[in-house]
Amino acid sequence: MDPSLSLADKLASKTASSNSLDSSSKSSSGGGIENGVLRDTPFAYLDGEEDQDQKNDVTYVCPYRGPVFGALTITNYRLYFRSLPLRDQELPVVVDVPLGVIARVEKIGGATSRGENSYGIEIFCKDMRNLRFAHKQQNHSRRTVFEKLQANAFPLSYSGRLFAFAHAAARATGAAGATAAGGWDGWAVYEPLAELRRLGVPNDMWRATKLNESYGICDSYPAVWAVPKAASDDFLRRVAQFRSRCRLPVLSWMNPRTQATITRCSQPLVGVSGKRNADDETYLSYIMEANAQSDKLTIMDARPSANAIANKAKGGGYESEDAYKNVEINFLDIHNIHVMRESLRKVKEACYPTTDDSKWQTAIDSTLWLKHIRCVLAGAVRIVDKVETMSTSVVVHCSDGWDRTAQLTALSMLLLDPHYRTVRGFEVLIEKEWLSFGHKFQQRIGHGDNKHSDADRSPVFLQFIDSVWQVSQQFSNAFEFNEHFLITIVDHLYSCRFGTFLCNTEAERVAEDLKHKTTSLWTHINSSLDQYLNPLFPSFTHGAELVLRPIASVRAVRLWKGLYCRWNPGLCALQHGCQRTRELLSKQDQLFKHVNELRLKSNNRSNNMQTTTRLASPMH
C-alpha cells in the first residue's frame, strides 16, 4: 500500500496490513518495475503479470468517501484503481484486488441511464467487498473493462489458465525462483511418510501403505495411507466398496502415549434397508483393537442426526450400534455446505458496506455464523476429550468425508498436538487433512470460473480458519503464528497466485504437475516469516500447554472483525496488526539479547568467584 495514504484510506483499502496480497507489489509513486523496465503504473508488477486494459476516466463509487475520479488498470492478476487528487496534499484512494477474489461482475445502467454514476460495473468479491465503478457512456470504456475482467477473473470459463501458472513460469526464468525463501521449496513442507514417522508409524499395530499410489482405489484420497496392520491390501479394497466414494477409514493422528487414534472416512452405504458389511465391521474392530487402552470405539458423525437418517434414502447413512460391536455413535449437529454458504452471505450483508450500530449484535446473531463456528469447536473438543481423557480411539465422518470431517480432524489435531500450532506444523496440517484428503477447493471456492451461483460453493475451509482464530484468542501464547498469518492464508485461498489451493484432489494436482508448474504459498510465507510470528509464543521456554481445551460456548465465540470487517473503516481495528507484530518481535529480540548478556555476566562472575576461592584456600 502507498505509504502516503491517510488513515481513512488505509482502513478502506487495507491491502497490505490485512492480506499480504501486495507483499511483493507495494504501491509506489515512482511506478512499477519488472525485469528492470519501468512501467507507468503506481505498483510493482509480479512476475508474469501483464497489462490487459487501462482507463483514465473511471469513477470509483466508494461507500465511505463517495465518488472519486481516477485511473483503472487491469492486469492478468489484479484490478488496480488510484484516484487523481483534485487538490494539493490530497491523498489518493487506492483499490488493489486480485482477480481471483472476484466472484462475479455485472453491468449497471444502460443507454437510457441519466443519474450521476448510474452507468458502470459492479464487482462482487469473495472477501466480503463489493466494488462499483462508474463510466462515461460517451467514452465506451465500460465494454472493454467488462470483457477484460470476465476473461481474466474467470479464465477457466474462457479456455484460459489461472495466473499461478504464468507467475511460476516467469519466476523460473528469473532470479526470484532460485532464491525464494532462501532456497526453501514450500512443496516440500509435507512428506507423508516423514509425518507418519513423527506420529510413530509404522509400529506393532499400524502400517503405512502405498496401495492407492495410482489413485485407483479412491481417487479423492492421498497416495499414502496409514492403516491397521491386521488389514491386508485385498481386505482394504473390499472395505472401500462399502464406504461412500470409497473413502474407507485411515489414520489421521495417533497419541504417542496411549496409542488412541483419530481416523477419518465417509459414511457407510447402509441405505434404507440397513445393509451390513462384515469386512467394514471387522475393520472398525481392528481400529479399536489397535488401542490397548480402551475396549470401545467412538464414531463422531459431524451431521445432525436427522440429516444422517435422511441420507439413508440416498444409499448412505450411519453405523448401527447393533451391527458394530463396542461402538458408540455421536452426532455433532454441524450443518451442510448450503446452510454455511447462506450464513456467510448474511454476515457480508451485516458487515459491508454500512452497519446499523443499534442492531449490530442482532444482525450478527441472526446470521447464525457464530453458532455454526461454536458447533465446529464443540465437536473438536468432544473428540479431544475422548482421545486424551478417555484414551478412546475416534472415527470421524460426515457424508463424503471431505468437508465437515476435515474441519473436525484438523481442529482436534491442532488442539491435541503442539506441533500443528507452529508455522510449519500448521502448513503440514493443511496439506495433510485438507489438501491430500481431497477437500474440493476448486468447487468450494470456484477458482477461475464464473459459476457464482454454483451449489458446490461453500466457506468450509474459511470456517476452519475462523475456528483456529477463535482458539488463538483463548490461548494467546499457544501459537507460533499470528492473525496476519491466518488472514494471508484466507486471501491466497482466493487469489490464484499460488498453486497450493488449486484443484480438488491430490490426484488432480499430480496430473496438473502443480509442484513444478506453480509456486507454493508456503514458499512465499516461509521467505518472510517475521511478519507471521506471534511475539507471545514461547521461544526459549516451554510454557505452551500440551493439549488445548477451548471454551466452546456462544459467550466465548465472537465475530472475527479483523477478517470480515477489515474493509469497513467504522468496524476494523485502528492498529496496524502486522506493524505492531514487527515492533513486538523487535522488542522481544532486544529482551532476549539482554537476558543472554546478563546470563553471561552472571556466569563470568560465578567463575571468577570460584577461581578466587580456590586461590585463597589454605593448603592442607
Annotated binding site: 311-314, 336-337, 398-404
**Where do we find the cell 478502506?**
12
Q: Is 213 helix (H, G, I), strand (E, B) or coil?
A: coil
Dihedral angle sign, alpha carbons of residues 573, 579, 585, 590? negative
Closest to 464 (Cα-Cα) out of 422, 402, 399, 393: 402
Grid coordinates given for 472: 488463538
Closest to 209 (Cα-Cα) out of 236, 190, 187, 243: 236
Q: Is 345 helix (H, G, I), strand (E, B) or coil?
A: helix
Q: How far apart are the first and last CA of the chain?
A: 77
Grid coordinates given for 355: 452497519
Helix 360-367 / helix 337-351 crossing angle, nearest 10 deg: 170
**Where do we find the cell 444502460?**
110
Query: What is the chain's length?
Result: 620
CB atoms within 10 A of CB 489: 25
What is d(CA 583, CA 577) in angstroms, rounded to the nearest whole number? Answer: 10
What is d(CA 550, CA 471) in angstroms, rounded to the nearest whole number? Answer: 6
The answer to whether 187 and 515 have CB atoms below 8 angstroms apart is yes
What is d(CA 411, CA 127) in angstroms, rounded to the nearest whole number? Answer: 23
Burial 581-593 (b: 16+ CB within 10 A, else e): bbeebeeeeeeee
| DSSP-assigned states of every residue in 476-509 | TTS-SB-HHHHHHHHHHHHH-SSSTT-SSSHHHH
The answer to whether 77 and 96 have CB atoms below 8 angstroms apart is no
Burial (CB count within 10 angstroms: exposed 0-12, middle 13-18, buried 19+), residue 574: exposed
Closest to 45 (Cα-Cα) out of 186, 147, 185, 170: 170
Closest to 123 (Cα-Cα) out of 87, 157, 90, 97: 97
Contacts with 538 (C-beta within 8 Å, 6 or more apart), sequence order? 477, 544
The one catalytic residue among 398, 503, 565, 572: 398
Dihedral angle at the C-alpha atoms of 231, 234, 239, 243, nearest 10 degrees? 130
Where in 198-287 does DSSP place strands (E)?
206-209, 225-228, 250-254, 261-264
351 given a catalytic annotation: no
3-state SS, one letter per residue, for 574-602: CCCHHHHHHHHHHHHHHHHHHHHHHHHHH
- Annotated binding-site residues for substrate read 311-314, 336-337, 398-404
* Plot region of 68 (φ>0 → left; ψ -120 to 50 → alpha; else → beta): beta
User: Which residues have a catalytic role annotated?
Assistant: 398
